[in-house]
């Protein structure tokens, strides 16, 4: 058994955490396969090896149909500069639990 100690003393975002897991050997294609079992559509996962200030790592991102996912956003309606309207709809805990319960994920994962 191996142990990973994560010292995220000032927090860590989901994309940063998944980038670390990919660097540690998480299979990107298997991740996509498992997430597809949630039956959520309209997104694309990307990964790219990057370097910043001589520190190398994997950049992980989620692209949603309307552009980059900016995390949790309450439902609201706003107008962009070009006159386009855009809606954001948040998923709350009950919605997420229903997605997981209705998914094809194994009972152990659920």
Domain boundaries, the chain: 14-101
pLDDT tens digits, residue range 35-86? 999 999 899 999 999 999 999 999 999 998 866 555 544 444 444 454 444 4
Using an 8 Å Cβ cutoff, are 38 and 99 in contact?
A: yes
Q: Would you state the structure tokens that stand for residue 93, as one six-digit string?
A: 């805990």
pTM as predicted: 0.71
pLDDT at residue number 89: 67
Distance CA 45, CA 58 (A): 13
């Amino acid at each position: 058994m191996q142990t990973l100690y994560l010292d995220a003393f000032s927090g860590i975002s989901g994309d940063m955490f998944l980038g670390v897991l990919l660097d540690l050997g998480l299979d990107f294609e298997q991740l996509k396969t498992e997430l597809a079992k949630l039956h959520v559509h309209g997104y694309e996962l990307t990964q790219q090896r990057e370097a910043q200030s001589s520190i190398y790592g994997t950049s992980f991102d989620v692209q949603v149909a309307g552009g980059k996912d900016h995390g949790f956003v309450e439902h609201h309606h706003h107008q962009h500069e070009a006159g386009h309207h855009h809606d954001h709809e948040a998923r709350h805990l009950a919605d997420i639990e229903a997605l997981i319960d209705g998914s094809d994920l194994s009972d152990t994962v659920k």
